[in-house]
């Protein structure tokens, strides 16, 4: 197992990896970083394009990845100093391993197919919320997640971490909802929003039909441009005195009602 060793944070490859912490460089290079054993395992399981796997030389290859490392599978294996690990990752305590991946290319046209349940986010900036929504969409069997204008970048390290690997399980597309929604509606999908003023409960809506569920930022809701494209709004009924749920919780409630109707109501 002859792995290259890199000790200096000034090494050109290290500078390249560290640059991927910034969105403009991720966009330009078409690459991003994932941290930790679990995310690397999920990436490998789903056939993601792994370019390099870099591990802390002092700690050695994590036990869960030893088999892959000894066979030299899934990209180039590199051992690195703690200083290098710290420079290339976004956490206070560097993980024992990170990987550099090529961004997948997603085909937008496939989203306009028939029996779809698409989650479309408009201006949701919090990485934790976006990551949780992606996990919930994965868990409830949604067909895709669309990140519209003003959303946090999918490949932001905090977003990647909070998806817990679900970003590898379903298509996630970054696009302009004002261009995509008219095409989805023309193909027969309904655009559904949420509103505290809505007349219809989310339990009365027929989630078995092709639906794009639109969720906006917690502070501002949907932008006026996207709100104008909504076919119908629903409300999540609440018994207690809380004013509202956060966007990730609300999306999760709606996703699981959709799954209940689609899978368990027959």
CA dihedral for 214, 216, 220, 222, sign (positive or negative):
negative
Query: What pTM value is reported for the model?
Result: 0.93
pLDDT at 108: 82
- Dist CA 155 CA 37 (whole Å): 17
Tens digit of pLDDT for each residue in 32-80? Answer: 999 999 999 999 999 999 999 999 999 999 999 999 888 877 889 999 9
Q: Any residues with CB less than 8 A from the CB of 79 and at least 6 apart, and which?
A: 3, 4, 5, 6, 54, 55, 56, 57
Is a pLDDT exceeding 90 seen at residue 113?
Answer: no
- Dist CA 207 CA 121 (whole Å): 18
| DSSP assignment letter at 109 | G
Which domains are seen in the chain, by residue range?
4-102 (3.30.1330.30), 108-263 (3.40.1280.10)
Tens digit of pLDDT for each residue in 152-199? Answer: 999 999 999 999 999 999 999 999 999 999 999 999 999 999 987 888
Length of the chain: 266
**How are beta strands 97-102 and 31-35 bridged, if at all?**
antiparallel
Nearest of 135, 3, 154 to residue 65 by alpha carbon:
3
Is a pLDDT exceeding 80 seen at residue 92?
Answer: no
pLDDT at 198: 86
């Amino acid at each position: 197992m002859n792995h290259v060793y890199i000790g200096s944070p000034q090494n050109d490859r290290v500078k390249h990896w560290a640059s991927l912490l910034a969105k403009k460089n991720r966009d330009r290079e078409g690459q991003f970083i994932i941290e930790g054993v679990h995310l690397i395992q999920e990436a490998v399981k789903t056939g993601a394009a792994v370019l390099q796997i870099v591990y802390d030389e002092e700690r050695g290859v994590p036990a869960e990845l030893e088999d892959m490392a000894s066979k030299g599978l899934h990209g180039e294996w590199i051992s690195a100093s703690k200083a290098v690990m710290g420079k290339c990752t976004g956490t206070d305590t560097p993980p024992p391993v990170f990987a550099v991946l090529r961004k997948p290319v997603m085909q937008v046209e496939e989203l306009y197919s028939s029996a779809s349940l698409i989650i479309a986010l408009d201006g949701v900036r919090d990485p934790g919320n976006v990551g949780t929504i992606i996990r919930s969409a994965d868990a409830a069997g949604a067909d895709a997640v669309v990140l519209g204008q003003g959303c946090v970048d999918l490949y932001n390290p905090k977003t990647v971490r909070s998806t817990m690997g679900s970003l590898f399980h379903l298509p996630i597309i970054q696009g302009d909802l004002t261009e995509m929604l008219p095409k989805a509606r023309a193909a027969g999908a309904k655009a559904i929003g949420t509103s505290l003023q809505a007349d219809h409960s989310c339990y009365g809506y027929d989630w078995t039909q092709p639906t794009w569920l639109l969720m906006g930022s917690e502070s501002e809701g949907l932008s006026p441009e996207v709100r104008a494209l909504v076919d119908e709004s629903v409300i999540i009924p609440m018994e207690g005195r809380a004013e509202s749920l956060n966007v990730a919780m609300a999306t999760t409630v709606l996703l699981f009602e959709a799954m209940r109707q689609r899978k368990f109501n027959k």
